[in-house]
Amino acid sequence: KDTCKYSGIIEDCCCDYESVNNVNGAILHPLLQQLVTTPFFRYFKVKLWCDCPFWPDDGMCRLRDCSVCECPEHEFPESFKKPSPYILPKDDPVCQEGKPEATVDRTLDAKSFNGWVEIDNRWTLDDETDNGEMTYVNLQLNPERHTGYTGPSARRIWDAIYSEYCPRYAYGETCPEKKVLYKLISGLHSSISIHIGADYLLDESSYKWGPNPELMYNRVLKHPDRVENLYFTFLFVLRAVTKAAAYLDQAEYDSGNHVEDLRAQSLIRQMVHNSELQAACALPFDEAELWQGQGGPILRQQIQNQFRNISALMDCVGCEKCRLWGKLQVLGLGTALKILFSVNDQSNPDPHLQLQRNEVIALINLLNRLSESLIYATTIKLPTTDISLIN
């Protein structure tokens, strides 16, 4: 534990996967699965405009399963325009571009986002200004899954992230700050790959979806470091959520649906005040130890700039659905970083912490994705292989 406290990185000691899996499976995952279906948490405000500052030539992905359908107002079925019950008619032929999962739900308008501060997140480059370019996306209708986005465009993004902004750290690297960004991104990458493998288009002609365990194994599970980074990222975000408990407890969850908003608040309270979750690997990472040494502030600024560039890179993702989830999850990570590293005093959360509504939505949905990834990683039936890697 002492070593752990010093370096604050999970690989150095700290948690066993089994206890993390137990607490996730028994407590966190069931709560999150309910929480993300509530109106407050299922709508995300996002600018899906392709505005890549790095490679203007990178055109939009034209693959059918990449598209998030933004329909003209007149195309929406009447029932879809009403704020409640937010249900998309089954097999609705309108504006699906071949698949209902791609439909953007625009039943919320900017008024539903009232009551929360508009405050900059220094870790991300998101423009939060409400304007015509903003879309409200129903995340439940747009699950993160296989889209077919691959090849040079996708590779270019991951390459840029790893080579320019968060290079792999050398073995034996002693500066934990430098490891953090790499581990967070690698953990997120693992989670994205696991979701691609969990919900894969198995057969184009019949449009049959299902799990692809080989893909999960080859891309993530057979690489112990990628699994470890997934756990690290999960614990990092969980720690941010529990650290912001007081703020999240008092926040106003107002989507206009009183009953559902009370449910969201109650679920949040059950989650942030749960002592087992708070204790779950209390030191996956000790933020109080970081940025403290000589050069700490410069290092912190440097890592913050790198993370902002990663956030900007999300506008270059050439697949709209992937961009949606990329933006959401990077904003979620940026929010976790903001919570954990805007501490004034070294052990308590900043009493002046302020979060935007969209940040809280991103944070909780990211935690849900990571929590799901842990469940998939531990329950997927691998054809031949060594599942002991992850148990």
Closest CA to 95 of 74, 69, 77, 73: 69
CB of 87 to ligand FAD, least distance (A): 24
* Contact pick of 101, 105, 126, 144 for ligand FAD (by CB under 6 A): 144
Identity of the amino acid at 103: T
Smaller CB separation from ligand FAD, 66 or 248: 66
Q: Which residue's CB is nearer to ligand FAD, number 23 or number 227? A: 227
Question: In the complex, what is the shortest distance from the CB of residue 300 to ligand FAD, in angstroms, rounded to a whole number?
Answer: 23
d(CA 171, CA 301): 24
Q: Output b/e per residue, 192-203; b: 16+ Cβ within 10 A.
A: bbbbbbbbbbee
- Scanning 20-28, 70-78, 190-198, 290-298 for contacts with ligand FAD by CB under 6 A, the matching segment is 190-198
Q: How many CB atoms lie within 10 A of CB 97?
A: 15
Residues 264, 258: Cα–Cα separation, whole Å: 10
- Find the binder of ligand FAD among 71, 154, 282, 299 (CB under 6 A): 154
Smallest separation (angstroms) from ligand FAD to the CB of 30: 24
Query: With binding defined as CB under 6 A, does residue 198 bind ligand FAD?
Result: no
Tell me which residue has tokens 């009447």: 78
Region binding ligand FAD by CB under 6 A among candidate stretches 49-57, 123-131, 187-195, 295-303: 187-195
What mask, x for binding ligand FAD by CB under 6 A, covers residues 315 to 354? --x---xx--xx----------------------------
Q: Considering the rule CB under 6 A, would residue 124 count as an interface residue with ligand FAD?
A: no
Told to check if 192 binds ligand FAD by CB under 6 A, we report yes
Q: Is 103 in the site for ligand FAD (CB under 6 A)?
A: no
Distance separating alpha carbons of residues 57 and 41, to the nearest angstrom: 34
**Least Å distance between CB 182 and ligand FAD?**
8
Nearest to 385 by CA among 262, 189, 217: 217
Distance (Å, rounded) from C-alpha 108 to C-alpha 128?
16
> What beta strand segments (E) does 130-214 contain?
134-138, 200-203, 208-210
* Among 75-83, 141-149, 266-274, 278-286, the segment contacting ligand FAD (CB under 6 A): 141-149
Give counts: helices (H), strands (E), the chain.
Answer: 15, 4
| Distance of closest approach, residue 91 Cβ to ligand FAD, in angstroms | 24
Alpha-carbon Rg for the chain in angstroms:
20
Contact between 3 and ligand FAD per CB under 6 A: no
Is 319 within 8 Å of 155 (Cβ atoms)? no
CA gap 305, 250 in Å, rounded: 31
Name which of 198 and 248 has its Cβ closer to ligand FAD.
198
Q: Report the interface residues with ligand FAD, using CB under 6 A.
A: 144, 146-147, 149-150, 154-155, 157-158, 186, 189-190, 192-193, 196, 219, 226, 317, 321-322, 325-326
